[in-house]
Amino acid sequence: MLPYTSIHEAEAALGRGLTAAEALWFNYSANKSDYFLYCHNIIFLFLIFSLVPLYYLILEFFFRNSVQPYKIQPKVKLSLSDYFNCYKSVMRMFVIVVGPLQLLSYPSIKMIGIRTSLPLPSVWEILAQLTMYFMIEDYTNYWIHRFLHCKWGYEKIHKVHHEYTAPIGFAAPYAHWAEVLILGIPAFLGPSLVPGHMITFWLWIALRQIEAIETHSGYDLPWTPTKYIPFYGGSDYHDYHHYVGGLSQSNFASVFTYCDYIYGTDKGYRYQKKVLQQLRDGLGNDGDQYGVPFDTSSESLKVD
C-alpha cells in the first residue's frame, strides 16, 4: 500500500509531478495492500494458462492447411478431447499447487525487497532486470533439468512432463507437483538477486510462462517475434528434447541455447538438423517439413 493519501502528497514526496503511468499506478494501488497486489499473479497465471494456448489450438483446428508446413511433428494429431484433458490436468495442478504456492510465498517477496512504491522503474530498468531474470533462470533451470533426466529424477518426477512426446501449448505447465515446486526455484532466483518493482515481477512471471507455452506449441512459426532474440531456442529446439524422449541428453535449456552449446548437450540436435538439411537438399521438399516426414524418416536420427 502506498504511503500517500493523494497524488499531491506523492508529488511532494518525489519532488516532481507524476508521470501518466505513475498516476495510473497510484490510482489503482494506493488503497490496496502489497499482498493483494502480489496475488494478482494468480489471476495472470490462470489467464495465461487458459488463453495463450488457444492461439495454437485455433491454428491447429481452423487453419491447419495454412500452418501445416510449420508444424514440427506433422503426423501427430490430437483431438479436442486430448487438449481438454491436458487443460483439466493443468488446472487441477493450478488449484492444488500453483495457487496455494502463490498465496503462501508472499513473505519471501517482502523479504527480498520487491516493492510497490513510487517512483516506477524506467523502461530500460525493467528491460535490464527482465534480461537478468531470464539469464539466471535459464542457467539454473539447465542444471535442474539435467538432474531431472537422471534415472531417479526422470522415473520419479520428470516423466510426467514427457508424456507429450509431441508437445502442445497447454502442456507447458503439465508436470508432476514436485517438478512445479522445484522449477519455482530458478524462477524466483532472479528477482531475489536483483529485486525490482512489483510490475517488473508481474511481467517476469507472465513472460516466462508465455515463452514456455510458445516452446511447447509444436509449431515453428516464421512470424514469431522471439526469432529475433539472440541465442533463443524456441519451439523447434525444445520439441527435439521431447521427441527424443526420456533418455534424452540434449537441449536441456529452458530459453536460450548457450548452455547446451557450452556443455555439449546439443550435439544430437545439431547432428539431426545437419542430416535433415542434407536430405532436404538432396530430395527436395515434398510438402512435409525438412522434405521428409519429421516423425518417420528422422526416427533413426534420434541422438542423445
Confidence (pLDDT) at 291? 39
| Of 143, 180, 139, nearest in space to 158 by CA | 180
Query: How does pLDDT run across 155-214, given as a tens digit for each residue?
Result: 999 999 999 999 999 999 999 999 999 999 999 999 999 999 999 999 999 999 999 999
Confidence of residue 302 (pLDDT cuts 50, 70, 90): low
How far apart CA 207 and CA 226 sit, in angstroms, is: 12
Structure confidence at residue 273 (pLDDT): 86
Contacts 24+ apart (CB under 8 A), 200-207: 200/121, 200/125, 200/126, 200/129, 200/130, 201/41, 201/109, 201/114, 202/40, 202/41, 202/44, 203/126, 203/130, 204/129, 204/130, 204/133, 205/41, 205/44, 205/45, 206/44, 206/45, 206/48, 207/130
Domain boundaries, the chain: 1-30, 35-281
Can you give the pTM of this predicted structure? Answer: 0.89
| Tens-digit pLDDT profile for residues 241-263 | 999 877 778 899 999 999 999 99
110-119 tens-digit pLDDT = 999 999 999 9
